[in-house]
Amino acid sequence: MKYEHIGGINKGKVMLFALSTCVWCKRTKQLLNTLGVEYDYIFVDQLQSAEKQETMGELEKWNPRCSFPTLVINDDKCIVGFKEDEIRAVLG
Amino acid sequence: MIEITKENIDKLFAKLDSDTRKSSYFLNPDSDFTRELVEGLIANESRYGYQACPCRLAAGDRNEDIDIICPCDYRDADLDDFGACYCALYVSKDIAEGKTTAQPLPDRRPVKREERPQFREKKVGKGYSELSHPVWRCRVCGYLAARDEPPGVCPICKATKDRFDRFM
């Protein structure tokens, strides 16, 4: 799958499932950029159907609601929505 | 096909602003935030043909997505409970006046397709035979219209005719 990689401080594996049109997703990306952490993101709305299905299957494991943004840290912790304080606490 | 240009963003922003003022709803006063959402609505109109919620993944089929066409079927309940709709394009009076700010909220759209408003079993109120006209209810704002057909566009929230259910 086509995850975009953003270089930065290594805080472990940080993955962001996002929509290109979603403003809360943009705020989450901006926060990750401000914190300067290394992460990968994917705009699920821009994927072709097979890839989209596969990515949604992956997302569902973490967030059964499949809502955006969903941030997965170290294949362990999942933060759903732009929860600034929580994201800062884990990655700040 | 509508293009994402500054002019189109300005135009839709002005239209939404005017529509909401007339119907006593409020747009998010953070104009940068709101303009980004308006851009998302135009992007969705361009690729799907309708203004699906920018913060939810659309299926690309109008009937599947009709409950999340902006304003969505969940807006008013979210305004009541949280003071903002899911994407925070629409906000309460308090937020519009800057007393508080919009916070992210959980999505109340049912995960199960059959529980979504357009697929739920419709209950029509009894006593219809005693009325001179059928009554239609807008799924977005609850506006009721006693006429032979639902209006083409809801006069309150501008939802289209296909978003009305028979109420009585």
Q: Answer whether B104 touches A (CB < 8 Å).
A: yes
d(CA A23, CA B85): 13
**What is the ipTM for the molecules in this complex?**
0.94
Query: Which CATH homologous superfamily contains domain A8-66+87-91?
Result: Glutaredoxin (3.40.30.10)
Give the pLDDT score at B128.
65
Looking at domain B6-115, its CATH architecture is Alpha-Beta Complex (3.90)
Evaluate whether A56 touches A2 at the Cβ level (below 8 Å): no
Blockwise average pLDDT, block size 10, chain B, 168 residues: 92 96 95 97 98 98 98 98 98 96 96 96 78 94 97 96 96
Domain boundaries, chain B: 6-115, 128-166
CA B141/CA A66 separation, integer angstroms: 26
Q: CB within 8 A of A85, min separation 6: which ones? A: none
Give the chain B residue nearest A19 (alpha carbons): B55
**In what helix (H) or strand (E) does residue B46 lie, and over which residues does it extend?**
helix B31-48
Report pLDDT digits (tens) over A19-63.
999 999 999 999 999 999 999 999 999 999 999 999 999 999 999
Q: What percent of chain A has pLDDT over 90?
A: 97
* B56 touching chain A per CB within 8 A: yes
Q: Pairing between strand A14-18 and A39-43?
A: parallel
**Predicted pLDDT at B47:** 97
Half-sphere exposure of B154 (CA within 13 A, CB side): 23
Region of residue A75 (phi > 0: left; psi between -120 and 50: alpha; otherwise: beta): left
Mutate to test the interface with B, among A45, A47, A85 (most CBs of B within 10 A): A45
- Domain boundaries in chain A? 8-66+87-91
| Residue B7 one-letter amino acid | E
Q: Do A24 and B87 touch (CB under 8 A)?
A: yes
Tell me the CATH number for domain B128-166: 2.20.28.10
User: What are φ and ψ of residue B151, in 5° steps?
Assistant: -65, 155
Would you call A25 and B87 a contact, using CB atoms and an 8 Å cutoff? no
Residues of A with CB under 8 A from a CB of B: 19-26, 44-45, 56, 64-68, 81-83
